[in-house]
Amino acid sequence: MSETIPPPIDTSSVFGEILGDDSTKRRRPEPTVVVIFGATGDLTGRKLAPALYNVMLDGALKEPTVIIGVSRGALTKAAFGDKLKPAVTQHSRQPVVPDKWQAFANKLEFVGGEFSDDATYKALGEKIDEGMKKGAKSVVFYLSTPPAVFPIVLEKLHQHKLITRSVQKPGVPGCRVIVEKPFGRDLATARALNEMIGSYVDESQIYRIDHYLGKETVQNILVLRFGNSIFEPIWNRNHIDYVEITASESIGIEGRGAFYEQTGVVRDIIQNHLLQVMSLVTMEVPSSFAADDIRDEKAQVLRSVRSLSLDDVANNCVRGQYRGYRQEQGVAADSQVPTFAAMRLMIDSWRWEGVPFYLRAGKKLAQRLTEVSIHFKAVPLVLFKEEAAGSVLQPAVLTLRIQPHEGISLRFVAKVPGENINVGNVVMNMTYADAFKRPIAEAYERLLLDCMRGDATLFNRRDSVDRAWELIQPVLQVWEATDGVQIYEPDSAGPKGANVMMSRDGRAWRDLKV
């Protein structure tokens, strides 16, 4: 007798949507004109076009949604679709089949020209007008370009009356601008960039995208914390010893030497991704799951993070560089740019006083892994003296795996079967793929849909961006003014200095395993 495979579970209908404003939850966006500047670039092919194709397959796009690519060169509508198809075929989570692809290709338009040329924006305006006459309600401009190009694009959009400054309300059609990271190189440039963008559009129209916040597993941090009464009472300094947040990659810089020489791992990963994840792990209970209520609490916890002194940078921040980085194309022979960074942060709040947060990120490490590990305090050893002497008894650890193999695991102590009271460590795992029997959508799918809906919950607000740069600024200033990067071997756990930093506190990183 063959086994019957149950149908996929539609978690959206079982649990409902909780994140976001009431006017946007579980609602398909109104027909939208999506304009992508830099439409022939890598990001569009790898992320944006596959995301839009998949949300179309999921039935989330209302007709007549129009997708206009803007880039240098001259492409016809058909040629633009032909150029995107191989990349979408490679990167889409759902297969590209002829009839579905044709439906997607029918939504595409292309405007070729220089970003500084008035003719480009005149042609773009005509395409937008066509979309609005067909029934589109909103316009989203996606600036998939280097930040240096932002001013000229926004100035020309404003000059040709393609963007209008207005306060946007959640769920109401309007004009919005999506800005890709990096949001500046440091605090001063980030503030200047925000001032420049803010001179053309209102803060409510600006959607600063961080793809980490679009990941289902990152969003689940809030649900796990606030949706389970067993966790919230122990989510504080009384029960938690320390927290680790790791983002390790097994690949190197993959030919992006010139980019990485200007960026480094702190700007690339820690200043945005890891600080955002930390704010979700540590924020207080919001009054609701509406966009501003969540973003208020995230901003508040970042303000509570203790600023780093020069001594903190010297003793609690470690930089490393994988062996072979200096031989990469575009990298200086004596480069001090870190490809690995680890640091300890403290939060001066009632909930987290005395609990250290250890952040690490790096390239060419032993494992591709992004996770948050909550290490709980050890139990008193009165009942387990003999077991503790053999280092068998270990404190409980709750691990939130963001990628890959997305899920949650809990390590705890249990009795080993037998006559004697022997204890062992047990790991209990939950993976999203097994639990819900459905694929996890890519982050850009959720983020693009939310912008089209007018829901800013998962996007960075200006005050959080500024505060993140304030926290990282001392590290950048010291490291860029001094030598001292530690060389580490590829496929390792990083430089030894990161282990020394943890050992001084009597703690250790979770192993990175090949």
Task: Please give the positions annotated as active site.
Answer: 273
CB 411, CB 400: distance < 8 Å: no
**Could you give the 3-state DSSP secondary structure of residue 111?**
strand
**421, exposed or middle or buried, with CB in 10 Å at 0-12, 13-18, 19+?**
exposed
Q: How large is the angle between the packed helices 462-481 and 291-304, nearest 10 degrees? A: 30
Q: How large is the angle between the packed helices 462-481 and 275-282, nearest 10 degrees? A: 130
Q: Where does 262-368 show beta strands of DSSP type E? A: 317-322, 340-346, 356-362
Least Cα distance to 330 among 266, 264, 268, 255 occurs for 255
Q: In whole angstroms, what separates CA 233 from the centre of its chain?
A: 27
Least Cα distance to 365 among 507, 207, 513 occurs for 513
List the 32-37 sheet strands across, edge first: 108-112, 66-71, 32-37, 138-143, 175-179, 206-208
Q: How far apart are CA 92 and CA 58, in angstroms?
A: 13
Tokens of 492: 């390792």
Q: How far apart are CA 387 and CA 500, in angstroms?
A: 27
Q: How far apart are CA 486 and CA 452, in angstroms?
A: 45
Largest CA-CA distance found in the chain, in angstroms, rounded = 84
- The β-bridge relationship of strands 240-248 and 369-376 is antiparallel
Q: Which amino acid is at 347?
A: I
Tokens of 474: 């001392």
- How far CA 155 is from CA of 41, 117, 143, 165, in Å, comes to 22, 11, 13, 12
CB 213, CB 242: distance < 8 Å: no
